Amino acid sequence: MKILLVTPISDTHYVVPPIGLGYLASALRRNGFNEVRILDCIKEKMNLRRFEEFIEKNSHDVVGFQIFSCDFATTIKQMEIVKKNRPETIVIIGGVHVSTTSERVLDDAKFADYGFCGESEVSLPKFMNKISGKEDIPFDSIEGLVRKENGKTIVNQRLYIEDLNAIEFPAWDLMDPRTYPENPQGAFFKNFPIAPISTSRGCPYLCTFCASHTNMGRMVRFRSIENVMKEMDQLYYDYNVREFHIIDDVFNLYKERVYEFCQALRERNWDISYTFPNGIRLNTLDREVLQAMKETGVYSFTVGIESGSQRILNHMKKSLTLEEIEDKVNLINEAGLHPSGFFIIGYPAETEDDIKETIKFAKKLKIKRAHFSNFLPLPGTEATRVLQSTGEVGEIKWGELFYSRVPYSPPGISKERLKALQRKAFISFHLRWRIIIGMLSEIKSLRHIQSLVKRMWDYLFTT
């Protein structure tokens, strides 16, 4: 059977190899489904017309979409294109959006035949065995499967894979890092080619604005460092990767494991860099961990600060104080590393004074960049459940769930005012000589400048 796995069309600046689809492709190959390919619509800069041309020219038995809430509306149009041109094709969907909206997702995505919640490296091959006739198993036995039965949505219990070493490495030949942009995060980098890598799954923390746990669970499972290094060996030698982006939620949960990872890198003596684009936990950082990471290639990373108001941090269940944040940021700088910070503007219960405290705190901290995101009422988060239970948020408009847009504003602050405060935060933080000179020193090329200008324009003027 011919299988196509799709990263949907999106306006995002994040153009990275879709390793979630890479894992699924390897799992399918391992089970004998070798005619599988990945179509990254973001990397290929596809629009709906080009996607339809692709579907008209290429026939597949199954087309699977990795769905994110912000791109859901466009992805529905892509599914419609598949069904219109290839009505016999089975359309399946997965990803965080399916995991967080499983009870309703097949009603919203009316052109999808099946969905998958959570981790699907085991369940997708089972499903393919079932529909191909290779194995006679009931649909009820396929973990995480979402299907319709007599008009009713059935959601099977999902599986969290305990032994991550048992999973095949992503199918890197289907998403060669050398074919991706030099600045995959749409911002700054040190070396190229760049590859994302996942060394663990799950997050035990309770941040109210995050839905990560709905897809990967709260129980953290780790790959062995030996297993991680085998994949990094492959990327280094076969694909010439010279920078690794570790995308774990809690890479530094246990410092003994960080030391083991750093020692494995020392033994290889590679001239590489690595960083953490999704952030790194502040509360488990210490001087020794920072030094070990710096000595083995870390040059920078982002930390989740979120707010300059202790009241709001408590609402978010961040388990950090402003004093602890400042101390940790100073410690990072003392180690010779220069962090960036994530901040959220417009969190529920936030006042304009809270936002001004956040801007003030960001400028006080020794960070080289600050990303001020508007709060997004993402499905599956505690914050969104509370807002919906009180009627403050109704039907979510998926297309508005971009960090530069304003899908929600707390009582007492209009959306227009919140956008103005976001612009003020960005401009007042970055238009300082220390910050400007630092950014200029990291620019690699004219193309890099163009990318940064576009990202800045979208960030400031998208409403």
Among 103, 125, 155, which residue terminates a domain? 155
- Terminal CA-CA length for the chain: 43
**Structure-model confidence comparison of residues 11 and 232, the more confident one:** 232
CATH code for the domain of 89:
3.40.50.2300
Residues 100 and 224 in one domain: no
Residues 191 and 129 in one domain: no
DSSP string, 34-51: --EEEEETTTTT--HHHH
pLDDT bracket for residue 317 (50, 70, 90)? very high
342: CB partners within 8 A, 6+ apart: 279, 302, 303, 304, 305, 306, 371, 373
* pTM for this prediction: 0.93
Tokens of 196: 């994302």
- The rounded Cα 133 to chain-centroid distance in angstroms is 35
Residue 135 in any domain: the answer is: yes
Residue 324 in any domain: the answer is: yes
Residues 196 and 145 in one domain: no
Average pLDDT, the chain: 93
Average pLDDT of span 303-326: 97
Rounded Cα distance between 210 and 69, Å, is 13
**Model confidence at 186: pLDDT above 60:** no
Task: Give the tens place of pLDDT for each residue, 331-363.
Answer: 999 999 989 999 999 999 999 999 999 999 999
Residues 292 and 145 in one domain: no
pLDDT bracket for residue 121 (50, 70, 90)? very high
Residue 50 in any domain: the answer is: yes
Average pLDDT of span 86-112: 96
Which sign, positive or negative, has the C-alpha torsion 313, 318, 324, 330?
negative
Residue 145 in any domain: the answer is: yes
Residues 71 and 219 in one domain: no
51: CB partners within 8 A, 6+ apart: 9, 41, 78, 81
Rounded Cα distance between 18 and 28, Å, is 16
CA distances, 132 to each of 127, 137, 139, 296 (Å): 8, 11, 13, 47
Long-range contact pairs involving 137-144 (C-beta distance under 8 Å, separation at least 24): 143/118, 144/116, 144/117, 144/118, 144/119, 144/120
Rounded Cα distance between 35 and 214, Å, is 30
| Helix, strand, coil percentages for the chain (3-state, nearest 5) | 40, 15, 45
Among 155, 187, 206, which residue terminates a domain? 155
The one-character DSSP state at 378 is -
Element (H, E) at 355: helix 352-364
Average pLDDT of span 121-125: 98
Residue 66 in any domain: the answer is: yes
**Model confidence at 271: pLDDT above 80:** yes
Residue 167 in any domain: the answer is: no
Average pLDDT of span 328-333: 96
Residue 67 in any domain: the answer is: yes
Q: Which pLDDT score is estimated for 462?
A: 62
**Model confidence at 456: pLDDT above 70:** no
CA distances, 98 to each of 66, 93, 105, 109, 403 (Å): 9, 7, 6, 10, 20
Nearest Cα to 120, choosing from 102, 147, 94? 94
Residues 278 and 348 in one domain: yes
**Residue that is written with structure tokens 């000179």 in the block:** 437
pLDDT bracket for residue 443 (50, 70, 90)? low
* Number of other residues whose CB lies within 10 A of the CB of residue 107: 10
Average pLDDT of span 128-147: 96
Residues 319 and 395 in one domain: yes
pLDDT bracket for residue 449 (50, 70, 90)? low
Rounded Cα distance between 88 and 192, Å, is 42
Nearest Cα to 429, choosing from 382, 360, 381? 360
**Model confidence at 390: pLDDT above 60:** yes
pLDDT bracket for residue 254 (50, 70, 90)? very high
Number of domains, the chain = 2
Residues 150 and 181 in one domain: no
Q: Which pLDDT score is estimated for 458?
A: 63
Q: Which pLDDT score is estimated for 401?
A: 82
**Model confidence at 463: pLDDT above 60:** no
Tokens of 283: 């509360």
* Number of other residues whose CB lies within 10 A of the CB of residue 12: 16
Rounded Cα distance between 55 and 78, Å, is 10
Task: Give the tens place of pLDDT for each residue, 47-85.
Answer: 999 999 999 999 999 999 999 998 999 999 999 999 999
**Can you point out the beta strands (E) in 123-280?**
145-149, 152-155, 194-197, 200-201, 221-222, 243-246, 273-275
Rounded Cα distance between 94 and 64, Å, is 8
Residues 139 and 195 in one domain: no
Percent of the chain with pLDDT over 70: 94
**Model confidence at 190: pLDDT above 90:** no
Residues 114 and 203 in one domain: no
**Model confidence at 442: pLDDT above 80:** no
Residue 165 in any domain: the answer is: no
- Check if the beta carbon of residue 277 is closer than 8 Å to that of residue 245: yes
**Model confidence at 393: pLDDT above 80:** yes
Q: Which pLDDT score is estimated for 49?
A: 98
Residues 68 and 99 in one domain: yes
3-state secondary structure of 245: strand
Average pLDDT of span 203-214: 92
Task: Give the tens place of pLDDT for each residue, 141-169.
Answer: 999 999 999 999 999 999 999 999 999 99
CATH code for the domain of 245:
3.80.30.20
Q: Domain of 240?
A: 176-461
CA distances, 154 to each of 38, 70, 280, 396 (Å): 28, 24, 37, 23
Among 155, 185, 207, which residue terminates a domain? 155
Q: Which pLDDT score is estimated for 434?
A: 80
Residues 145 and 222 in one domain: no
